[in-house]
Amino acid sequence: MRKVVIAGNWKMNKTLAEASDFMDAVIPKAPGGNTEAIVCAPFVHLPALVEKAKGSNVKVAAQNMHFEESGAYTGEVSPVMLTDIGVTHVVIGHSERREYFAETDESVNQKTKAAFAHGLTPIVCVGETLEQREANETMDVVGNQVKKALAGLSDEQVTQTIVAYEPIWAIGTGKTASSEDANEVCAKTRKVIAEITSQGIADQVVIQYGGSVKPANIDELLAQSDIDGALVGGASLEPESFVQLVEAGTK
């Protein structure tokens, strides 16, 4: 059975009490097996959530980090700090960070390398704008982002990278790419990874789709040949909905 990774990206939501309640509700129901459940939480909640998740089937991720280990970077959090408290995954290059916080393909690559240097698994986000899609530039944009993000990684590191394809026009809009369209980009993304490594390596990479994923469309998305999971925003905020998404991975 293939590995499925369902990650809930809470973005800038939830108080500590709400985050704790969520974990209390989800942990007993997280199925494990072939499906990995990851909660991507705001920095301030990470220590408490890691503590709660110990011994469970839920992993805890940061939504960003700096690539340096330490230094004069006011307001930033380093990979050393994340591993020190037991965080295992980190989201890198989310389109909201690229758009509002000046993340570039270069910083995404630096952060991806830094994640591996510190034993963190990166969830690297890529995706095109509506304008780019309408201009038929989707694969140029996504292929380029993937190549730049993975530049300089060993084959072993590439196999461990989780790539999240999130078309920007489908994020938080209720517009999901059709499963076939999403799969087409994910399949082509895998081809790009095969070109820079090998087919054998590319076949092992977990490629997620993200953008208005919800319990009502997860089955269809996961039934596609090249979609190995989902990175979910809005529908990951409620325990019931998140558990349904994770359970879909086990079907």
By beta-carbon proximity to ligand 13P, the closer residue of 96 and 201 is 96
End-to-end CA distance of the chain, in Å? 10
Among this protein's residues, is 166 annotated catalytic?
yes
Non-local CB neighbours of 180 within 8 Å, separated by 6+ positions: 224
Provide, rounded to whole angstroms, the least separation between the CB of residue 97 and ligand 13P: 10
Among this protein's residues, is 94 annotated catalytic?
yes
Give the footprint of ligand 13P on this chain (CB under 6 A). 9, 94, 166, 171-172, 210-213, 231-235
**Pairwise CA distance, residues 146 & 42, whole Å:** 25
Give DSSP secondary structure letters for 53-114.
HTTSSEEEEES---SSSSSS-TT---HHHHHHTT--EEEE--HHHHHHS---HHHHHHHHHH
By beta-carbon proximity to ligand 13P, the closer residue of 172 and 200 is 172
Provide, rounded to whole angstroms, the least separation between the CB of residue 155 and ligand 13P: 27
By beta-carbon proximity to ligand 13P, the closer residue of 201 and 221 is 221
Provide, rounded to whole angstroms, the least separation between the CB of residue 172 and ligand 13P: 4
Catalytic residue set: 94, 166
Annotated binding site: 9-11, 172, 212, 233-234
Annotated binding site for substrate: 9-11, 172, 212, 233-234
